[in-house]
Amino acid sequence: MTTGAVAPRERRLQLPIWVRSITGYLIVPNLAFLILGWFVYMNRPLVNLDYLLLGAVAGLLPPAIVIVAYVLLVANDAFVTLAPVFHFNLETAAWSTPYGLRLGLGAASLGFVLVTSAVTIAVLGIRFSQGQSRRGVQPSALALALLIFGLDFVGGTNRLSHADAALIPFNLATSASYNTVLSLYHAVRGGRSDPKVKRIEYAQSATGQLRRVLNTSSPAHSIGAQHLVIVIVESLGQLEDSAGAPLILGPLLSGDVRRRYTINIGTVQTHGATTSGELRELCGVDTDYRSVGAVDVTSCIPIQLRSAGFKTVAIHGYSGGFFDRARWYPQIGFEQAWFGDDLARQASLAVCGSTFRGVRDPDAGRFVARQLLDAPKGERRFVYWLTLSSHLPVDASCGAESGLDCRATAETTRFADVCALLRIQYLVAQSVAEIATDPLLPPTRFIVVGDHPPPFFSRARRSLFAEGRVPFVELIPRPARPSVRRATSSPPR
């Protein structure tokens, strides 16, 4: 007989295995991305079925393999989800990964955050599922995955549905792994020899009017000026606020500019990242840098003007090895290219930037001016300038001397990084306006256009700019006014 009462063992709440499986392999990972979507712009379906499929077979695998597989699924999910933030499609993003690794500390920091987040989500998911307590296939996870896939198919949001209208008002499900494998398959199967190149209409680019004339008349007489300058401004977006829209390009609309130029302003549709914007304006095609080999370069502005006797010069403040520009710029007609490495050797050119550190836009702009003003008499030049300093994440010091007052709009007052971005882009407009109004400049035609809207992660910041649309300004020199001679009458004799 015992002298003391034995406390009953505490009963732990034991959830059914299917509840634990759904929690760990459906709710935890997808909820993490759903929460992230409240703060970061991304277009991700509600459910990624990869996790449920892993949960269905987790009992057949060693615990270490399950953890590694879970981490890889989260990392791939993040890669597929966030690639469009930077205006990359998945295939382009995968192909461009080696260039991202060249960013050094920036890439290392992003990689650390990604790996840490993926491991955290994986550990939480497996801990909630307690999947290793039961061996064998978990039919509940497999059945739920098939049910969600069926709803997605019937609802019309699945690519296999081929539906003209969706019954469900949101994209229900996806498989990030399937999308990655499919993109890699197309990349490996096609490689550089089977790229996708689509001709665009003249109205779909800021250079459309110029390209139309070049394709129908002699390039030597069609630009309406001695020189041509095309400036593609990194992350120049169209502000939704009508009061703030003229701010960035304001210097190009000044009275001094209007007296010397006819001004065309507007917006064009954009698709893809920076190299897509370049090829849109320079060659009139919808593609990216991987497909340059399949572009009909005879229709590209640089090669057309070079054939007509122009000296063709490209200027960019970052490395020519990034996105292979040093390789494909000559292919489309540039006989000379000045990249960040070359420009930085000029004693007067300074650098700035965070992840993408290179020659400051105002300094590059002065180099552009020298290319025009120092041209030998009678030589015609086409100068192409791809700006750099407004590449996200922006370094506010790149716009230190900007004349833009961010108190002019509520948006720029609210967000310091948006303010910094616009101040840098305003400096580009100032630089172009200074070049255009230089009294020593021969007649020169200017086209200034954005490559793509700024790829802010934040939904609040991203919503300030029109999606898929960028502004442009074109300056066409006015004909020189003939000197007027006053008629004089001879005095009577």
Domain extents in the chain? 17-190, 198-477
Averaging pLDDT over each range in 261-275, 408-422, 474-488, which range is the top one? Answer: 261-275
Burial tier of 431 (Cβ tally within 10 Å: 0-12, 13-18, 19+): buried
- pLDDT score, position 114: 59
List phi, psi (to 5°) of 203.
-70, -10
Residue 471: CB atoms within 10 Å: 22
Pairing of strands 444-450, 381-386: unpaired
Range 428-446 average pLDDT: 96
pLDDT at 358 over 60: yes
Confidence at residue 400, expressed as pLDDT on a 0 to 100 scale: 87
- 200 residue type, one letter: I
Region 243-256 average pLDDT: 84
Per-residue pLDDT band for 205 (boundaries 50, 70, 90) equals very high
Q: Answer whether 449's CB lies under 8 Å from 427's CB.
A: no
The residue with greater pLDDT, 51 or 7, is: 51
Spatial distance between the Cα atoms of 147 and 153, rounded to a whole number of angstroms: 10
CB neighbours of residue 153 within 10 Å? 16
Percent of the residues in the chain that have a pLDDT greater than 90, as a whole number: 34
Tokens for 118, please give them.
């993926």
pLDDT value of position 21:
77
pLDDT of 74 over the 70 cut? yes
**How far from 407 is each of 343, 400, 412, 418, 420, CA to CA, in Å?**
34, 15, 7, 12, 12
Tokens for 357, please give them.
């550190």
Stretch (H or E) spanning 421: helix 416-436
- Enter the tokens of residue 136: 């064998």
The percent of residues above 70 in pLDDT, for the chain, comes to 76
* pLDDT at residue 132, as a whole number: 47
Mean pLDDT value of segment 130-146: 72
Measured in whole angstroms, how far is the alpha carbon of residue 172 from the centre of its chain? 26
Q: Which of 109-123, 358-372, 402-416, 463-477 has the lowest mean pLDDT?
A: 109-123
Mean pLDDT (whole number) for 89-103: 56
Q: Cα(223)–Cα(202) distance, rounded to whole angstroms? A: 15
In 3D space, the residue among 149, 172, 176 whose CA is nearest the CA of residue 72 turns out to be 176
Give 294's DSSP letter: G
Mean pLDDT is lowest, of 153-167, 347-361, 362-376, 471-485, for 153-167
Residue tagged 């990242």 (tokens)? 273
pLDDT at 27: 85
Residue 103 pLDDT greater than 80, yes or no:
no
Does the predicted model carry a pTM greater than 0.85? Answer: no
CATH T-level topology, domain 198-477 = Alkaline Phosphatase, subunit A (3.40.720)
- What is the band of 35 on the pLDDT scale with cuts at 50, 70, 90? confident
Q: Where are the alpha helices (DSSP H) in 198-241?
A: 208-214, 219-222
Q: Which of 15-19, 131-135, 137-141, 485-489 has the lowest mean pLDDT?
A: 485-489
Q: What is the mean pLDDT of residues 413-440?
A: 93
